[in-house]
Amino acid sequence: MGFSTRAVHAGEEPCPTTGAHVTPIYQTSTFVLAGKIPRYFYTRHGNPTHAVLEEKMKILEGGGSALATASGMAALLTVMLTSLEKGDKVLSSEAIYGGTYNMLKFLLPKFGVEPIFIDMRDPANVKRTLDQETKVRIVFFETPANPTLDIIDIEKISRVARDAGADVVVDNTLMTPYYQRPLELGADIVVYSATKYLSGHGDTLGGIVVGKEEFITEARRILAVTGSVISPFNAWLIIRGLKTLSVRMEKHSENAMKVARFLDSHPKVRRVLYPGLSTHPQYKLARQQMRGFGGMVAFEIDGDTGDVYEVLEGLKLCRCAVSLGDVSTLIEHPASMTHRSIPEEERVRIGITEGLMRISVGIEDADDVIADLNQALSLLS
């Protein structure tokens, strides 16, 4: 069956007791035991609402097994704790979400794990580093990257990493399984912030890990120990969001393309980063490994932080907020918000300059979003 059909139906059956058509929220911490330990006994170890979300994600991703977590950060940390031991190294793309950077740079070293950050746009860089280093257990990247929208070659890097005995972990938050399926391109593990497009309405936190069954079984054990499980209600919101994922992604992408074209022609805009523009440095690769270009656009205005804030304060419809993948258009300034923890020198090298703005284009009418951006940009002298 097609993706949209699976998104609506996969993992869901009418309730055998009541006939309820929609999956119930099993809002319970514990389960009554009748002599033996049944499948569910305590929500930190599993819950029927979680199981439906996990089954749906597994089927949409085409992977072995899925695990739901409290947030995207919880998903990433669970993967790291499952895979790594003291003395191991993580080879990471340098263009990643600020929170993930913090985890790799500051948290993992406390437990004897060393991060190495490199530019992964050229797979030869990854090969060179893997040839030089020992004990690299994980090769991690986001593609497209938040917020630079760099595209990284999943297939080539997976091949290089496999030869070196490292697992490839891809954060697929910006694309979702509707537009990109890393496991089919050779990656070992896929991670999501379900807070974003998977749930889609900006009303919950959540995370997902998809990988081989043995890995997920071990990750589930780790999750039960760390306790960073999702609540049944939040899992239910993500199940509901997934049913409309394909229609939302199509609209996000259609709108983002229009917004990117508008920004590209604006005199106050220096450059626009959108994988769907033929001017994107990796347009060809984007077309190869993605089925659509998504809803995220980054652009650099001809100005500094003060000018960026003038634009942000002038917006009436688009909201200045971090997060992304919401039905509403959200816009932010990575250098002072989502990526402020990355030291300035590194930030600028990656391309997160003072004038860079990131827009998560919503599913409103594109003309209204464009009109709002136009009036706010016109405030710049």
Provide, rounded to whole angstroms, the least separation between the CB of residue 14 and ligand LCS. 31
3-state helix/strand/coil string of the chain: CCHHHHHHHCCCCCCCCCCCCCCCCCCCCECCCECECCCCCEHHHCCHHHHHHHHHHHHHHCCCEEEEECCHHHHHHHHHHHHCCCCCEEEEECCCCHHHHHHHHHHHHHHCCEEEEECCCCHHHHHHHHHHCCCEEEEEEECCCCCCCCCCCHHHHHHHHHHCCCEEEEECCCCHHHHCCHHHHCCCEEEEECCCCCCCCCCCCCEEEEECHHHHHHHHHHHHHHCCCCCHHHHHHHHHHHCCHHHHHHHHHHHHHHHHHHHHCCCCEEEEECCCCCCCCCHHHHHHHCCCCCCEEEEEECCCHHHHHHHHHHCCCCEECCCCCCCCCEEECCCCCCCCCCCHHHHHHHCCCCCEEEEECCCCCHHHHHHHHHHHHCCCC
Question: Among residues 23 and 71, whose Cβ is nearest to ligand LCS?
Answer: 71
Residue 283 designated active-site: no
**Which residue of the set 88, 89, 97, 153 is catalytic?**
97
- Per CB under 6 A, residues contacting ligand LCS are 71-73, 97, 99-100, 142, 146, 171, 173, 193, 195, 205, 207, 322-324, 338
Question: Among residues 10 and 75, whose Cβ is nearest to ligand LCS?
Answer: 75
Provide, rounded to whole angstroms, the least separation between the CB of residue 242 and ligand LCS. 15
Provide, rounded to whole angstroms, the least separation between the CB of residue 228 and ligand LCS. 10
Question: Among residues 64 and 99, whose Cβ is nearest to ligand LCS?
Answer: 99
Question: Among residues 73 and 242, whose Cβ is nearest to ligand LCS?
Answer: 73
**Which residue of the set 58, 196, 248, 251 is catalytic?**
196
Point out the residue whose Cβ comes nearest to ligand LCS: 72
Provide, rounded to whole angstroms, the least separation between the CB of residue 12 and ligand LCS. 24
Residue 105 designated active-site: no
Residue 243 designated active-site: no
Residue 178 designated active-site: no
Catalytic sites, residue numbers: 44, 97, 171, 196
